[in-house]
Structures are given as C-alpha cells and as structure tokens.
Amino acid sequence: MANPTVRILMLLELLQSYRHMSGRELAERLDVDRRTLRRYIQALEDLGIPVTTERGRHGGYRLMPGFKLPPLMFTSEEALAVSLGLLAAQGLGIAETAPALETTRAKLERVMPARLKQQAQALSESARLELPSARAPGDERLLILFATATQARQRVRLDYRDDREQHTRRALNPYGLVFRSGRWYVSGWCHLRRDLRSFRLDRIVEATPLEASFERPMDFDPAEYLANSIASLPRAIAVSVRFDAELANIVAELGRNIGVFTPDGSAVMLHARTDSLDWFARQLAHQPFDFEILDPPGLRDALSKQAVRLQRLAAKK
C-alpha cells in the first residue's frame, strides 16, 4: 500500500492531468476516504500549490487556472547521478520500492530532454552495479520511521529479537542508519543498556515513535561506529597484526568487518578478535603485502600450517 507521501504526489499528478475531478473520483483513485483526501489537499496547499474547491452537486477540486509546476531541468551530470542512484537502489533489499523505481525512472525520462533521456535509458539498460546484495529483506516503513525520527531527534520504542531469539523492549535515541554488507542497521543511544548500540532492522519486530526528544552528538558517525562495534564483538582470542601497506589497500583486501585498523607510522595496526586462529591465518595467507604477527603466538603456528599445506599442494603433479 502506498504511503501518504506517494499518494499526495499521485493526487498532484491527477489534478495536473485532469481539468476537474470530484472528491469521490479522487478518493477512489487514491484508495482513501474523503476525510483523508481533504488532509492531502491541505498538504498540497501547505506546499504553496493552489487547489480550488468547488462546492455543490457538481463540485470538486482543480488546480488554479494557469498553474503549472516548473519543468525539471537536468544537466548531463545530474541525469547521470539520478540514473546511477536508481540502479544502486535496486540492491538495497526494499521489495516495496521495486515498482516505485520503475515509475520514477519513467517519470524522469518523460520530462528530460531527448538527449538526456537517451543517455539515461542507455545507462539503465547496459549498466550493472556489483554492489553487495541484500542479505535480509528491508522494511520500507521502518526505514522511513527511523530516518524521520533521526532527523526530528525523536525517541523510538522498539521490540527487538536478537540472534538467540530473545525478545527485549527498548527505548532508542536513533542517531543514524547504515546499509552494510547487505543489511540495514540503526545506531544510537539505548536506554535499556545505557550505552551506544546498533540494531539490525530485520530483527526489529515493531517500532513506535515516542513524544520524548533528544540531542544527537555532533561528531557521531553511524557508519564508523557500526564498523568498530562489529569488529569488536567479544570473540575468544585477541589478535594484533602490523601491515606494511596503506590503510585503503588493506581495507580493500580484508574488509572492515575483520577488526579495527589504526595508523602506526608508515604501517597499519590491526586489532581484532576471532574464535578460530586457523580461519584468521587463511585470511592472512592470501594478502599481497607483508605483515608481522604480534599476538598471539598461536597465530604464527596456524599460518605455518597454511604454508605447509600450500607447499604440499604446489608439489602435486
């Protein structure tokens, strides 16, 4: 079912397309009752769009004669940005947006000049973005709820189901949303734990905005906090490795989920935790740059085992 914003835009399009429509016709087209329709009409008027109301047996609604929205004008760079944005949105795991992406693309192409329309269509048909696929279905309602609450600095009550199927009810000051490794997360101050926490949206059973407000820390980076919290999960064995390479190159090879990276002169330190030294040794074995294992000594033994295995495989005829 379309959300109110989509329906308000649909109402505007109907009023632009038809000279005059009765309240009954508009309500039926939008699949809402007459009271809700009047709220949508008021929303358009609040945006400065002049809607005239005609009462009586043949009354209805129309836009003020001569009113037209200014046409959308795009530069070539803006058209490219919009087209790439629509392509990227396909991989965000929000099933409800799939039809909206197609209608949005069609509406944009309808108002673009012929040259830009041809460029946008070519990009849509020939380009594919190899972004991480969604590993869990996204919920459009939750995304909008938390985005709105974050912007309005509004506390949210949520019912959460963790990875052990345990349910808790929490109050959260949402500081930001992050799409990472195919999943959506919301990070903020958890009043139950009295600390910063991140929550997967696909594990949120229900969420309700509350009246309470909050102040968001000015320097809070939800993506950085999420990366550090995932890398610092309480696994059994602490690991420290120094790499002789640039930070960007190491992150490109190992990913940020493996641990916390910090500059160390011309090198980079990795502090991580793992439940398997053999697994960690395999991650190190295929790195293209030099490194030094600082801790634990058992990781050196695990890496030696990997070296022996590779030598044995290389000697096979």
- Asked if 134 contacts 93 with a C-beta cutoff of 8 angstroms, the reply is yes
> Is 69 among the domain residues?
no
> Is 55 among the domain residues?
yes
User: Does residue 237 share a domain with residue 307?
Assistant: yes
User: Does residue 178 share a domain with residue 150?
Assistant: yes
Total domain count, the chain:
4
User: Does residue 148 share a domain with residue 216?
Assistant: yes
User: Does residue 298 share a domain with residue 240?
Assistant: yes
User: Does residue 198 share a domain with residue 241?
Assistant: no
- CATH number of the domain where residue 44 is located: 1.10.10.10
What domain range is 267 assigned to?
232-315
> Is 225 among the domain residues?
no
User: Does residue 84 share a domain with residue 59?
Assistant: no
- So what's the pLDDT on residue 1? 44
- So what's the pLDDT on residue 193? 92
pTM of the model: 0.57
Report whether the peptide linkage leading into residue 296 is cis, meaning its omega lies within 30 degrees of zero. yes
Q: Could you give the CA distance from residue 293 to residue 285 in angstroms, rounded to a whole number? A: 12
- Asked if 62 contacts 44 with a C-beta cutoff of 8 angstroms, the reply is no
Domain boundary among 186, 220, 254: 220
> Is 134 among the domain residues?
no
- So what's the pLDDT on residue 133? 60
Q: Please count the CA atoms within 13 angstroms of the CA of 166 that sit on its side-chain side.
A: 3
The two structure tokens encoding residue 5? 């914003």
> Is 70 among the domain residues?
no
- CATH number of the domain where residue 210 is located: 2.30.30
Q: Is 188 helix (H, G, I), strand (E, B) or coil?
A: strand
Domain boundary among 173, 197, 220: 220
Task: Convert the pLDDT of each residue in 187-239 to its tens digit.
Answer: 999 999 999 999 999 999 999 999 999 999 988 999 888 888 877 777 889 89
Task: Give strand ranges (E) for the chain.
Answer: 51-54, 60-63, 154-161, 167-180, 183-190, 195-200, 204-213, 237-243, 260-264, 267-274, 291-295
- Asked if 149 contacts 177 with a C-beta cutoff of 8 angstroms, the reply is no
User: Does residue 180 share a domain with residue 145?
Assistant: yes
- So what's the pLDDT on residue 72? 61
> Is 184 among the domain residues?
yes
Q: Could you say which residues of the chain have pLDDT below 70?
A: 1-3, 56-58, 66, 68-74, 91-99, 111, 129-138
User: Does residue 191 share a domain with residue 214?
Assistant: yes
> Is 131 among the domain residues?
no
**DSSP calls for 75-144:** -HHHHHHHHHHHHHHTTS--TTHHHHHHHHHHHHHHHS-HHHHHHHHHHHHH----PPPPSS---HHHHH
Which amino acid is it at 91? G
